């Protein structure tokens, strides 16, 4: 079943999308820096928790896809859902829009049937 889900094209696409997820997690953590330094203190914890969750679930999914584990599909679904949910508190900034779009993209790639080669 893993071979059916993780074809070469799907694995390549998911790997790229999951790297973008990790980059967004780093960006969200960097957005928390002004709060750590004294401004916007009430948003620091929210941003750091979101960054940790995005990085954690994205990293786990990336490792599963790269190692072709059976848990790869479930972790990709979880990553897509977490990205969509994380976009809600981040909607006031551009990263919120990007996380939502990325989450939908990961879910589309995960659930889309594989195309037949021509």
Q: What is the pLDDT of residue 84?
A: 95
Q: What is the pLDDT of residue 40?
A: 65
Please compute, for residue 94, the number of CA atoms within 13 A of its CA located in the half-sphere on the CB side. 3
Confidence of residue 2 (pLDDT cuts 50, 70, 90): low
* Structural domain boundaries in the chain: 2-111
Confidence of residue 118 (pLDDT cuts 50, 70, 90): low
User: Measured at the alpha carbon of residue 60, what is the angle toward residues 65 and 87, in degrees to the nearest 5?
Assistant: 105
Residue 104 contacts residue 84 (beta carbons within 8 Å):
yes
Burial of 88 (0-12, 13-18, 19+ CB in 10 A): exposed
What tens digit of pLDDT does each residue of 39-91 get?
667 788 888 999 999 999 999 999 999 999 999 999 999 999 999 999 998 88
Q: What is the pLDDT of residue 112?
A: 86
């Amino acid at each position: 079943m893993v071979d059916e889900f993780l074809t070469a094209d799907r694995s390549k696409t998911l790997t790229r999308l999951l790297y973008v997820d990790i980059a967004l997690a780093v960006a969200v953590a960097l957005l928390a820096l002004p709060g750590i330094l004294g401004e916007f203190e009430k948003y620091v914890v929210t941003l750091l928790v979101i960054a940790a969750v995005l990085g954690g679930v994205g990293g786990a999914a990336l490792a599963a896809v790269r190692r072709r584990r059976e848990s790869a599909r479930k972790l990709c679904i979880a990553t897509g859902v977490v990205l969509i949910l994380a976009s809600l508190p981040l909607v006031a900034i551009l990263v919120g829009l990007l996380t939502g779009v990325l989450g939908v993209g990961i879910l589309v790639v995960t659930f889309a049937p594989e195309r037949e080669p021509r």
